[in-house]
Structure 1
Amino acid sequence: MAGRKKHSAEEIVRKLRHADELAAQGKIGEEIAAELEVSAATLYNWRHQYGGMDTDAAKELKELREQNSRLKRLLADAELEKDALREVAKGKILSPAAKRRAVDMLKESLKLSERLACKAVGLNRSTYRRTPIAATPADPDAELRGWLRTYGTKNPMHGFRRAWAALRHDEHRVVNKKKVHRLWKEEGLQRRIHSPRKRAGQSSVPQVDADAPKVVWALDFQFDSTVDGKAVKIASMIDEHTRISLLNIVERSITADRLVAELDKTFAMWGGPPRMSRMDNGPEFISHALQQFCTDKVGISYIPPGTPWNNGHIESFNNRLRKECLNRNHWTNLLEARVVIGDFKDDHNHRHRHSSLNYLTPAEYAARCIHAHHSVGCEID
């Protein structure tokens, strides 16, 4: 008598997804189990363990439907808040006066209610309704505020120091510089904008064209999430010449040490490292761990910060992965995401006909390509 077949977790996930497709076609449980070559009890147990549903699945589904309308309302409010925050100036709004002006603007431009506008800006409604002292006759600095506003209108590029200098030397008024600074900020006048420099990694090799296999491997990250809202981080790497996918890491988070360990395995699997690896300036890519790993092994070429078009091959692959896989699936758990994304990358290598490869698959093109680095592109046998 033959023993019972033991399915791996990946096989179970694939069969459960196939079962969902069969159920969508109108087949009943016994027919689905027969086609999957398992018993109905086994299929039920699989769904209980891997499908993300417990024994009270029907009850939970009913509760989810009841929550759906509430979530839609919350989502609508959240979208309104995001639209409101886009209308507000960038950066944190710290002073109550600035927040009051932001609330007034949102009420006028987006027609938001006072409650929602105050919530978006982060201002208590009682604070918004309270008349600020600067708007009352009791304000002892009302005349100075008016002078600063007039000066700021005539000299929009000047800061509070230039205004204090004009008060001191042109108006011959003795006033403390710190007081001018405080009133200047409260009136929302011109302030210095700090633009921190973006960190940029130091490339170890000059730019190289991917004119042959194993010359340039492009590496990048993208993100998704499971149904419970937890993040899923995906690392991908392709050979820019053959378009073949080389790396698949799907985790909640990917540290630089984990990336180095997986790159080491990938280099060994594909017969050694490439001449150069192209990547952006993410924290994992400019880390000391990756720099030390690549020393005397593979050159690193960093694209300029904020220029993803300079790493266009991996961006194109990520775009296809997003549209054809991530946007068309929802993940009940991390294992399911690993299996499906891994299958997509395998299909990309062996079934996707790439127009720039004369409609060969990346695996077919790599098998026919001369593995040599020349100043011109390699030839097809």
Structure 2
Amino acid sequence: MKKSRFTETQIISILNEADAGMLVKDICRKHGISDATYYNWKSKYGGMTASDLKKMKDMEQELSQLKKMYADLALENKAMKDLIEKKALRPQERRDVVTFLVNEHSLSISQSCRCAGLSRSAYYKPVVVNTDDILVINALNELVKKHSRWGFWKLFNVLRKKYPWNHKRVYRVYYQMKLNQKRRAKKRLPKRENNPLFVPELPNQVWSADFVSDSLYCGKRFRTFNIIDDCNREAVHIEIDTSLTSRRLISVFEKISLERELPKVLRCDNGPEFLGAEFVSWAEDAGMEIMYIQPGKPNQNAYIERFNRTYRTEVLDLYLFDNLDEVREVTYWWMIEYNEERPHDALEGMTPMEYMMKKQKTLV
């Protein structure tokens, strides 16, 4: 577009000459302009003064700045909508956000840093890799690979026996590796009467027993009959089959009696297997008292219920089994690990075997 020879101030001065009484054709001849140019100026600047022109210029400049600001904010808003992941909190996560905005939305580094809440100096600062935690990472990876369902405190209790790291350092690395287990939310329950469990002082005094049901990969159902010692939480036996009757329970206890002494008390629920006349008669002859819990009160058999949950999360839910032999094989090795390697919070961080040895030393 061709630039005018006259400034806007000069144009307003020329128009004022006409207001003073000078003819239009004389004004055009004097300044070397055409009639069309004069009337175009009059339609655009007619009735304006120099101060009005200055105000209009300021308004145009302010409007231009507002348009530019709106365009930048609209572009940043559109880019931020693509960040659908969790809010970035750590510096490295914010650097990744800045890189994403620069590459995908063509924002400048300054705009991207402002959107991510990160300074430019922090973006350009080289990342320092902390090599002091490599040993912690390797130790945690080794344990988690073997025990994928263990929480932080169980992992830490095992590591504490070999390494001098405190729980704060281990938890920091554990959290950065995103190994946190999903926690079950506590349900609000009405106030109930608390019936404390009878905690035996010696092994083979009170055992707890219960059934767990699951299915193979083909959909075929099977059951497990779990027995633990309430004194040291030792897994005594796990019987696995598609059908477990009262007669089968008798054969299980007779097999156990060949290796160790039977308990004086067996705590169980009111299942038909435990109520069968054949099993009740055999238990009475064997000198084993059956202690039935109240119907609808599984918390009165809390030790075996807690064991069932551990067995389900660490074995049944962790694998897909094709046949019962696979279930028995995995369960056999898991029981050895449970009794000899896995620390228990209720046993002061000791394994069932370690707790039994401690009990035997106190008795001696």
Fold match by TM threshold 0.5: no
TM-score if structure 2 supplies the norm length? 0.44
